[in-house]
């Protein structure tokens, strides 16, 4: 069973066509780079794949389920999402943010601590998010997306704000996830440091997939 199947998916925002007739099939365990300039539709496509935005037309199947159908909400717990905004509460600490998300996603405290340790968040776990650098906020947002062991992980510009060491850590993490059969889609205009070995590269231009390799 494929992880992602899109058939003629389009998304309009009023007169603006953000996605236009996107068809795509991705197998489980693929590490995919979604490339494209700013405004190409990368973030919109990720939001559709995360079932955060309903397409205007077309068919979406994620992990064998239509996420917009009657029982589709259940699949959302199997998807991790990191947008350009880390989606954290600024007045709460990283630990408080992660515990709140862990309760929603059925993750326990040992898993929370494991994810935080993997991203080396231990020294700042009790600090309020609003006091942290962009790099730490991105790492905390990634930790949030990883809770609950998602089968499909969607990352929007994950290298933004990361220093060289954190960028290398992210590359190692993406490789490990791919080896663990997690399907990972990374939307990025550019990246810092060495990149992982992507299984697929998709070029998005004007809301359409213009090239695939």
Q: What is the pLDDT of residues 5-20, one digit of tens each?
A: 999 999 999 999 999 9
Q: What is the pLDDT of residues 124-153, one digit of tens each?
A: 999 999 999 988 999 999 999 999 999 999
In a domain, 8, yes or no: yes
Domain that holds residue 10: 4-88+150-212
In this structure, what CATH number is given to the domain that contains residue 196?
Answer: 3.40.50.300
Task: Give residues with Cβ within 8 angstroms of 5, minimum separation 6.
Answer: 24, 25, 26, 59, 60, 61
Name the strands in the sheet holding 16-26, side by side, starting at the edge strand that comes first in the sequence: 16-26, 4-13, 57-62
Which residue in the block uniquely carries the two structure tokens 């795509």? 24
Task: Give residues with Cβ within 8 angstroms of 213, minimum separation 6.
Answer: 200, 201
In a domain, 50, yes or no: yes
Which residue in the block uniquely carries the two structure tokens 């990368």? 42
């Amino acid at each position: 069973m494929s992880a992602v199947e899109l058939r003629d998916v389009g998304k309009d925002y009023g007169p603006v066509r953000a996605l236009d007739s996107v068809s795509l099939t991705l197998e489980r365990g693929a590490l995919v780079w979604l490339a494209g300039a700013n405004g190409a539709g990368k973030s919109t496509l990720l939001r559709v794949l995360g079932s955060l935005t309903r397409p205007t037309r077309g068919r979406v199947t994620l992990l064998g389920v239509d996420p917009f159908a009657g029982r589709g909400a259940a699949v959302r717990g199997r998807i991790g999402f990191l947008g350009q905004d880390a989606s954290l509460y600024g007045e709460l600490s990283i630990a408080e943010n992660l515990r709140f998300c862990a309760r929603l996603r059925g993750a326990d405290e040992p898993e929370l601590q494991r994810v935080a340790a993997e991203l080396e968040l231990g020294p700042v776990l009790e600090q309020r998010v609003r006091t942290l650098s962009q790099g730490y906020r991105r790492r905390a947002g990634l930790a949030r997306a990883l809770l609950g062991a998602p089968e499909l992980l969607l990352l929007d510009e994950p290298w933004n704000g990361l220093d060289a060491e954190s960028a290398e850590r992210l590359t190692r993490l993406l490789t490990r996830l791919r080896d663990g059969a997690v399907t990972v889609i990374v939307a990025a205009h550019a990246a810092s440091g060495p990149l992982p070995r992507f299984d697929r590269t998709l070029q998005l231009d004007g809301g359409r997939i213009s090239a695939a390799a």
